[in-house]
Amino acid sequence: MSTLGQLLEDPSADVRRTAALSLGKISHPDGIPPLINALKNEDPQVREYSAWALGQMGPDLSDEAVNELINALGDEVPAVKHAVASALGQVEPDTDRVQLLKEVLAISEVETRKAVIQVLTAFDTPSAYEVILPSLKDPDPRVRQAAVSGLGELADRRAVPLLRKRLLKDPDVGVRTEAAFRLGKLGDTADVSWLEKARKSDSAATVQIWAQWAIEQIEPAAVN
């Protein structure tokens, strides 16, 4: 184990990457400290693989490791952010971690905000809903779409009226399409009229298609 940890500092990036992957496959807690350090490695794939490896440790991760992963959500490379978000999705949520993610969400750039929403969705705690909610009004449509997706995944029916609003009024076609899809998963017969309106009046073909799909998902369920 100590040898693999040392290899994370090898001059060869290929060796460092292999060491990170190996530590993840072994999933022994002794690998956590060197992997934490590797989250700041100059090679983006080493950072990505180290985040993945830490995710394999799951419940064994210390508060320090979780905090370092949360900090790594700010990495400039999208693939690293994704790996970090996936890793954080494997840890046990608690109030302090949700609060820290809330703070990151408030001050970070677009891709990090999306990654934070991904983590909160994986946490699937009652507080996650409240933290994600303001992102429905984010100025960036990519974040709004992530928020619609996240709220849909949480399957909290309090989100339904908000999804209806995004379906009919959001200026971005991606957000409206996501809202249609999520209403098909989460909605009931009360949502059919909203979906019908979108299907008939939305200028985007993708919204029309997914609104029709959502209606077809809801109506058979209502009959059964």
Classify residue 143: in a domain, yes or no: no
Classify residue 140: in a domain, yes or no: no
Q: pLDDT digits over 113-146, tens only? A: 999 999 999 988 889 999 999 999 999 999 999 9
Confidence (pLDDT) at 1:
56
Classify residue 62: in a domain, yes or no: yes
Q: Rounded distance, CA 138 to CA 128, Å?
A: 16
Q: pLDDT digits over 57-84, tens only? A: 887 888 899 999 999 999 999 999 999 9
Classify residue 200: in a domain, yes or no: no
Range of the domain at 45: 1-92
Classify residue 114: in a domain, yes or no: no
Classify residue 26: in a domain, yes or no: yes
Q: Rounded distance, CA 140 to CA 134, Å?
A: 12
Residue 84 maps to which CATH number? 1.25.10.10
Confidence (pLDDT) at 206:
98
Confidence (pLDDT) at 209:
98
Q: What is the pTM of this model?
A: 0.85
Report how many domains make up the chain. 1
Confidence (pLDDT) at 224:
41
Positions in the chain whose pLDDT score sits under 70: 1, 220-224
Tokens of 145: 């779409």
Classify residue 127: in a domain, yes or no: no
Confidence (pLDDT) at 221:
54
Asked if residues 119 and 87 have their Cβ atoms less than 8 Å apart, the reply is: no
Confidence (pLDDT) at 172:
98
Classify residue 48: in a domain, yes or no: yes
